Structure 1
């Protein structure tokens, strides 16, 4: 039987050890800063850093739980907030913070004690800043005057005080030794007092503790020297010790003090009172009768609040000045069993699995009784038959664990707090247990505490959710409205509780979302607009996950196809194209192909093309071809508007502009217009005499229109360029009629094209013997252009030309007035200003922009084909006719007429110029 008991004791000790009954001790100084290292608690408890978070590592404390904290990353215990030892433990010599370290899986409890070391952070403090002492001058030498010592909130060396008195001739300081703690601090008279000599003495009493660094406190002592009353009341005992039970009623007598005064009369009549340094707490609990000296209870005395009281009492006579005697009363409070035990569940692992192994810790219970001695000794037990038991793990700590016994009969042991029940836990039989825990102290009479623990049994999460797609509407038009339902989804889980609570989620990120319509029912709806051109198909995964631990999940795939709608117009690569085409291309020649892209699909993306102005070109291919002959001299460019249209319903359109620039080809030979001024020339004509005027033109452009003119034969004449494309045929050397009487001149004009084209003209000049020359009219090879040129001629030639020009001007003006019945649009004229050349009043050449009229033919620029000099006319006769005239377009040539008055030889003056258009 003894062996069985020893074996049972061994298993109980082993169980207690496994649940974490080890205690670790640390120390930390008070007032340590936040983050101060205390200890490597995880390492000291034998725990790995990686298991702190998974095992729910936590620290609790019954007192101030926020003072210390553990870093779960490195397992270090550190100071979390300010620790004040005096606030935490008061005057107690030992001050510790008791921590409970709890980890789960499996549940373990460790006890950690952190000792708070005192530092010297409190200086000595006297009851007041000044103390008044009344001393009769008759007091003998070595008289003692008790003083109120200083107090220090620290402990140990930091609270051991030494005193010193400021230098004086009358008093010394008597400081009690370590074994004379009852003996008060006192001033000792060393020299007789003489009130007449020194009525007052000012002394400074300094208290210094033994901490490092030392802290000091001072009090001003004012000694007033009095006459007469030189005997203070004296107690029969200077120290009295009494015991007082807690919870005694008010009015209970604590002690009656006796004092006597050797003086007579008022000097011997005294009254009892508490000293001035007695705390307000003591005054609220005790009262002293000033006449009888009886100390009685007037407040609640609680052992748990304070175990002892130190009361300083004075007896003060009525002499002048009054004298006082002192006595100390020590009241020891005796504990009574007046506090029932308290139960605290510091950790509760709920719910527990139905498959939990026997010995699994369910809860940690802390039992606490504020009483002391036998009144604070408690036992714990279970009052109901349940498949659990209590195991004592540490002083006043119990673990509620799952019992492993196979016997259905329950056995309760109130000494060990164990209850054993057979049977494994079955979730189907019972899913909740109500456990009643009782705790009883050993006081007389005993007091009992109760608590109830509800343990929920949780089934295992052994069934995965199921996902069923009950309806699916495909495909989805890309213009579907937000909120359109795509599919209906139902989920289920055969487990219960959290294991059967299923949540649904949708992956990946898409314009769809799941909307819960009812419990375990969801709708897959459109959350934002679709764009088939961006994404044409979505592969969605619906995930259903239960609330078990570990969680189980199931997935279902949904493929959503987006159907196209015609929401994209054809788009050209650029809004405008420029094409360069040579003239004279054959009809049907392909010059350019436009192409537009449509982001839609199938019929919505099939594009055809057309010219906006007229239906020309390949509609399907976008090819631009020539319909007729292209002539640069007729039209230099076209601006085509191309339209692209898809086959959608309704169709959508795109546009672009094609600029066709015609490149000139040298297909026009130059033209010469020769006007002979003289039929014959005198043999003695001076060098430089003008024989004829020559104008060259070319309908091409650029280098193809740059024309040079020359004489093909070696003759005594030369061509002088007077203006662009204008030449004068002048005499270059002396004539000799006897040698040559007639010259046949050939003029050649050649352009700069490749290949070059040319034209020639013949001029016949007779040489006479010196008579007046006869004038020619005009011999023309061809006429075209837009500019004028003036050359110097002699006076006779100008008079003849002006006479002919005047008649021609009148005829043209009349004809123009008849033709211009209404102003045609100027928009039909290609921009270009005719250049007018005239002579200024001083005889120099200048360009005049006054009183001009621009005339154009067809789509080409204005052309100046003829320049005629008219004689001068009165300024008023034609001023009204030469104002700004309406511009009009005809297939005519512009004639610039200039009217001149001869001033002297080889100079002309322009009085009037007009521009007319004759009908050719």
Structure 2
């Protein structure tokens, strides 16, 4: 190009552009703390760019480019000023370095200056967690040393003002393990140090605090709810190991007897209890009752009987419904109390049903056993004979009694006794039973045959045929059998009949007592005679009695009249001959 020649316009424009695009090798760098107030001086830009302050206004010195909203220049002083709020986190997020490329332009001649403004982080953000609280479900069977990750805290600040530490509120179960080796951010884990017990503490509330590196430091918190998850580590426990109850034996079926109750500190199905009977011995008494598996109510299933069983021992099991079930048991003693529902029972264990009538007082007739299965007064029994008899009941031992003779016996008066024995207990109302015992009185030869009269006068007409039954003697003997079997015999006679023996005149039949004539009686020859008859029984020894028999001969008109001569001293009969012609 020659001197004095004007350059073409395009070349001039090109050179202008190239000049504008040139960047000084030594770029000016400023720094400003974020959030500085508008008007804050960043630096003296005119001085640093070696611009004449007096020409700044004339040359239209100003900030340009995309970041001109944040900065401005004072054209009187050349100072670079903060124009608007600068938020480092908004501009650079969490980058370690945050700087803004800023341009300044002047005209006449046109020139472009680039400089860098580094945004220095201020601790203007508090560490925070994305959620205010978390729930951690930790099994109470977790082993010590087990770790549980925790959320990280977020701090928009970077570098020293970012999250630098975590702290866990004081507790006895968890410690905090903070990891930051090689990590851009700090994280924390909870470490179980002491075993958990849901039954003691089902919920543990902890606070995790995150702090940054500012001075003073800022912090944020996270609420941690540690829900201790249940495992079936508790056995159901009954309120008491032994339950006792008294139940009358007439309690209706279905009536509740007692409730048993067990507690299980576990939750859910681990704490849901089911009740049942333990009957390993196949005890039938257990079947008398039933138990509600849910409520533990024990009710009567079958009739109670104090006399059969007065105490029933039940073993009740409480079992939870956990995966690995756990159980415990208790004992229930049910005392079945007595009511007076059984009358006394009389049984004859030994009896002499035939008793001699000469049995002495105190002779044992029989043995009785009286049982009343009821208890206490309901089983106390009084035994007696209700009708008047020569017998009595004697208590020998406990419920054993003897029936003994208590008076004189006489078979001839009473040959058979029907003894009504009653046994009555002392219950309210009393119950009783009766038993009839028949005692036969056997005969002894204690009665001699008896004639109705001691003297028997028998009138017999003369001239009765020989062999005729003159009279029948009777003797009464109340004894029986051989003792009452009577035989008759003549034991003496008199001689009223001259030299004739009674035995030749009459005969007494031994078995019937019939007096039979052995000759025809003649009143004119024998008017009366007497003899004695003895009646003897067949007992051993035999007994007898006598009767005097007077035979009185009654005259009949069996002789013609005879005229006797005058009396002769010598008693001879004289005869006279009377002529046929004699006067009447």
> Which TM-score band applies after superposition, normalised by the shorter structure?
0.3 to 0.5
Alignment TM-score, normalising by the size of structure 2: 0.36
Structure number with bigger Rg: 2
Alignment TM-score, normalising by the size of structure 1: 0.23
